[in-house]
Structures are given as C-alpha cells and as structure tokens.
Chains A and B, each alone.
Chain A
Amino acid sequence: MAARILSLSKRGFNFEVFMWAFTRFTVIAMYGLMLVGILGGLSLSAQTGANFGDILYWAFFPNLAENPLGQVWMTIVAKLMVIAFVLSACGHGVHGVLEILDDYFTSPTARRWSRNFIIAYAVIASLIAMYVIWTR
C-alpha cells in the first residue's frame, strides 16, 4: 500500500487540523511525562528499595496504596508533573470524547450541547484536580 502524505500547507489550518495537532501534541506530552515517571520510579526504586510494581500501582491508584516513596510525592516537581499530566489528559480527552459523542449525537443541537458539556466538564475537573493536588 502506498502511503498518502499530505503536507501541512495542503491540509489548511482549520479547527479539525488544529485539534488533530493538539491531540497529538498533548499525547506526546503525556508519553514524555510517563517516561520521566517510569525512569524516576526505577531510579527511586533503586535508591529506596521500594518495589517498582508498588510504585506503578500507587501511581494508578494513589488514594488506595500507601506511597512507597515517602516524601517524594510532596515535592513541588512531583506536583507540577502530576498537574501537567492531568491538564494534558484533559485536553487530549476532550477531543477524544467529543469525537465519540459526535458519532452518536447526530443533530446539530445535540452536538452543540455535548460540546458545551464536555468542555465545561474538562475545565471543572481540571480546576478541582489542580486544587487538590496542589494543596494536598
């Protein structure tokens, strides 16, 4: 199969192209943060003797597991990283959920409301998450 490559200039710069790029850039940001997190987890696992699996489990379910890294969670760098991840996830998720909703809500009114709802949801969830992460 021959690959079809369309240059950016031929794609134009409309909302869809912008959101395509935005979704890719936010996901790259998340992979970068995950990579830093995994490398940091491996490094801290080596330094503290904490089990790497426990670190990952705590990363996915921080409210359930005891922090195997002790004080590390409280550092400003860790908080900023988690906030950056939450914001990237929200930005990425807004467009993803919107695409799915657009497939099922087909009338213009329903699409407009689903769009308003998901954007409002993302803003509110981001603000709550940032506040809790920063103040905890």
Chain B
Amino acid sequence: MGLNRNVSLEAGLGYKGGGPYWTYILHRIGGSALFIFFTIYILALVGVQAANGILANWVFQLIFLPLMLFHAINGLRITILDLSPKLIEHYRTAINIEWVAYILVVAFALFVVLRNAFGG
C-alpha cells in the first residue's frame, strides 16, 4: 500500500485526467464543503449565534451551495454507473449530461440565494 507516496500539489493539478479527473476532485471538495456545512448546521441547531451568522451570509451560501449541489449531482451519476455497470462505457456522455443538469440546478439555486440576499 502506498503509504509513503508523495505527490506535490503541482503534480496533482498537472495530471491530465480530463473531465473525469476534475469531477473526482470537485466531488471531494464538495464533500468537504458538506462536512463543513453539516458542522455549522449542527452548531446552528443547538443555538450558536455565530453559526447562524455564517449560514445567513449570502457569500457563504454562494460558495457552498454550488459545491454541495455538485457533490449531490455527481454522486447521483456515480451511483447510477456503479449500479448499472454496462453504462460505464458511456461515462463521458454521463458526465456531459451531469454538467448540463448541474448548471440548470445551480443557476436556480444561485438565483434564489441572490433574490433572498438582495430582496428582489
């Protein structure tokens, strides 16, 4: 097991994995965002005012919602391909469909966030 592997950030970013690689990276970033959101959400539930303040911040929402939604939509693609292995041959098409769905959903989500932030 590669316990001592040492891949620099530069080497990681330079990896030419294309679309699938970036969905993998974004999925991890989205998962980490969800973990942070969940922690703040729990703190808000127990009544920590600062946590409420963070959740109420529209900049926070603007950054975290797209990341969390990407995790959810990409996770759906992964689950479908995992449970229907014959579809793996079409994984690039699946990723393209995922991006279209993601852009539509995130556009709606950001519209709602901005409308709530600026009271339009």
Contact = CB atoms under 8 A, between A and B. Distances in A.
Contacts of B31: 93, 96-97, 100
A80 to B, nearest CB: 17
Contacts of A5: 85-86
A24 B83 contact: yes
Interface residues of B, number: 36
A91 B39 CA distance: 14
A34 B34 CA distance: 16
A125 B38 CA distance: 9
B21 interface: no
Interface in A5-45: 5, 24, 27-28, 31, 34
Nearest to A90: B38
A125 B3 contact: no
Q: Chain B binding site: helix, strand, loop or mixed by DSSP? A: helix
A93 B39 contact: no
B56 A57 contact: no
Interface string B57-99: 0000100010000001001100100110110110000000000
Interface of B: 3-5, 28, 31-32, 34-35, 38-39, 42, 44-46, 52, 55-56, 61, 65, 72, 75-76, 79, 82-83, 85-86, 88-89, 108-109, 111-113, 115-116
Interface of A: 1-5, 24, 27-28, 31, 34, 53-54, 56-57, 60-61, 63-65, 89, 93, 96-97, 100, 106-107, 125, 128-129, 132-133
Given A57-B112, A89-B34, A100-B32, 17 more contacts: A1-B89, A2-B89, A5-B85, A31-B79, A53-B115, A54-B112, A57-B116, A60-B65, A63-B44, A64-B52, A97-B32, A100-B28, A106-B4, A106-B5, A125-B39, A129-B42, A133-B45
